[in-house]
Amino acid sequence: MTDTTLQTPAERGLLPLPAAVARPLIAVGAVGTIASAFMSWTWTPDFPGNLTIYGYPAGLQILALVAGALTLLHLLAQWRVKGLGWLNPSGATSPVLLTALSAFAVCWFTGIAIAVDLGGLVNLDPGAYVAMVASLLPVLGALALPHPAPGTGLKGYLGKPEQPRPGTLSPLAERAAVTVGTALGLIVFTYGIGINDDDSETFIGFLLVCVFAAWGLVHSGLLDRYTTMSTRHKGFAACLAFAAAVIFPFTQSNDHNANIGVNILIFATVALGLNIVVGLTGLLDLGYVAFLGVGAYAAALVSGSEYSPFQVHFPFWAAALTGMAASLVFGVLIGGPTLRLRGDYLAIVTLGFGEIFRITVNNLDGDSGPNITRGPNGITQIPDIQLFGFNLGDSHTFGSFTLGRFANYLFLMLIITAIVVLVFTRAADSRIGRSWIAIREDETAATAMGINGFRVKLVAFALGASLAGLAGTVMAHVNYSVNPQPYQFAGAAPPNSAFLLAAVVLGGMGTVSGPLLGASLLYLIPEKLQFMQNYELLAFGVALILLMRFRPEGIIANRRRKLEFHETGQLDVPAQTTLSEDAAVTKAGA
């Protein structure tokens, strides 16, 4: 056993324990956490998940088991066990601590939730106490491992450690790694979306494990390596992601989960359109949800609803083109006179446009104005879409699988989302896309270089509006109706402009996957945590404050914006050189 007094500062952790003791302590705690998942945590099935059965983990016990297994894996990787070096090639301490915190968080949260929900600690069975004690041991042991940044205290564990340059793999091995990563992502998403809406405790535990486990993967460098491989095989990774989304409905026995998936894709598609305006062009649009409403109302008026004043029934492709064209026209009409403004002035004008749209459709009820939108009642009884002889409102059987109405619409939205992603990526990589980025970085300099700033911004505004209109046409058919209530800046439930803007900022401006992830999180979390629905705006505000403080570039960062928001030390050497040259000139002059 090594005496802590003989350890160098770089070898000491926050706790005065030698590594020869810390690592076994972590291992014992991780194994104990795994074992506790097979014990009873409470005597009554009243707590969500039925944690009363010995030998059969369920609910939060499964999450504790996964967190304990991840802690053990990261420990063995940090311990340089043969075959696991790829998980933590630098041997960093922080991934072990973060995964240990995932087990600690879910076990202690469960114990406290049982005591609070059921009325006291007497409702905890021995398994809960074992889980709480066992999950604490890896945290203590990780704090005794070599400190990643000596002298910085707990703050030093938050900084991402430097990773060695990864070795190269064969193209086949990289594709296999991307396939495994996609499969794991599908499993995690399927498990999370499958948690019952009234089981908020299990979903909170799921979020805790995901946050700390993902944080640990970032610190170990594994997520960066996976991103690099996915970028190197971009087409293959995109096809895998699309295939995983197609497989998702076949994993669900409840069509309600497919409905959640449809809404996520609708809002993610609209967020991608907003990402063109905000992320690529740098225009702050606070009334973007109005374009979604324009597309939805335009499709509702021509899709055969008996409450539409225009008794016409266009096929879906014509209704979709009508919605896109209407949003495009409104985008040009609003953008034409306003896009010469900048910054806060543009934001105020777009906010006003959003409110004008909502008030207008609310007043076109036959009393305050012509009877076109039926005012607050909206346009209802919009028929389901029919494509190639298939009615998307009917259930369809494929072998032993039965796909309901929302699963059918999910497949339709997957195709539309793929089209929107293709349009976004092609536009961003084109000449006009580089002009958007130049306008975002410095409009004055871009104009001086010959870029027509007004025309470029108008194209971005119109393209983003038309993509939102396309998503609106599907949303009108999915919901069977449209009404003015959702189309406001901030509301009790999405869609609203605040939700869409938060999805873009949270996920990562200027990226494709960022708005997809942001829309998924911001829709799924309130859906599963019913008690938060009355505090949705408060939750948005807190999340954005934390994000701006710790990761202003978003969860999935655009490389350019990441360099803007974080000091990389690239200017240190030139600055020191300049000072040295100034000192030399001064000395020579003296």
One digit per residue, pLDDT tens: the chain, 590 residues? 333 434 444 456 788 888 788 889 999 999 999 999 999 999 888 888 888 888 889 889 999 999 999 999 999 988 878 778 788 887 788 899 999 999 999 999 999 999 998 888 888 989 999 999 999 999 999 998 887 777 777 777 777 777 777 667 788 988 999 999 999 999 998 998 888 877 888 999 999 999 999 988 888 888 888 888 888 888 899 899 999 988 988 887 777 888 888 999 999 999 999 999 888 888 888 888 889 999 999 999 998 888 888 888 899 899 999 999 999 999 888 888 888 777 778 888 888 888 888 898 888 887 777 888 888 888 988 988 888 878 888 887 777 777 888 888 999 999 999 999 998 888 888 899 899 888 888 888 888 888 888 888 899 989 999 999 999 999 999 988 898 888 887 765 667 788 888 888 888 888 888 888 888 888 888 888 776 666 766 776 777 787 777 777 777 776 666 655 555 444 444 444 333 434 433 443 43
On whether the CB atoms of residues 264 and 523 are closer than 8 A, the answer is yes
Is 455 a member of any domain? yes
Asked whether residue 373 falls in the same domain as residue 483, the answer is yes
Residue type, 181: G
Q: Both ends of the chain: CA-CA distance in Å?
A: 62
Asked whether residue 212 falls in the same domain as residue 262, the answer is no
d(CA 354, CA 490): 11
Asked whether residue 78 falls in the same domain as residue 179, the answer is yes
Is 579 a member of any domain? no
Is 239 a member of any domain? no
Asked whether residue 265 falls in the same domain as residue 194, the answer is no
In the block, which residue shows the tokens 């871009």?
446
d(CA 529, CA 367): 40
What is the number of domains present in the chain?
2
Asked whether residue 133 falls in the same domain as residue 222, the answer is yes
Of 32, 51, 55, the C-alpha closest to 43 is 51
Asked whether residue 365 falls in the same domain as residue 277, the answer is yes
Is 583 a member of any domain? no
Asked whether residue 221 falls in the same domain as residue 259, the answer is no
SS3 of 466, please?
helix
Asked whether residue 174 falls in the same domain as residue 313, the answer is no
Q: Looking at beta carbons, which pairs linking 85-89 to residues 24 or more positions away fall under 8 Å? A: 86/222, 87/220, 87/222, 88/220, 88/221, 88/222, 89/163, 89/164, 89/166, 89/221
| Omega before residue 309 within 30° of 0, cis | no
Asked whether residue 275 falls in the same domain as residue 370, the answer is yes
On whether the CB atoms of residues 566 and 550 are closer than 8 A, the answer is no
Asked whether residue 298 falls in the same domain as residue 389, the answer is yes
d(CA 205, CA 45): 18
Is 243 a member of any domain? no
Is 240 a member of any domain? no
d(CA 412, CA 385): 10
Asked whether residue 425 falls in the same domain as residue 469, the answer is yes
Is 573 a member of any domain? no
Using the Cα atoms of residue 230, residue 232, residue 235 and residue 240 in order, give the sign of their dihedral: negative
Is 430 a member of any domain? yes
Residue 544: give its domain's CATH number: 1.10.3470
- Give 313's strand partners: 303
Asked whether residue 117 falls in the same domain as residue 216, the answer is yes
On whether the CB atoms of residues 500 and 488 are closer than 8 A, the answer is no
Full domain range(s) for residue 133: 4-159+169-231
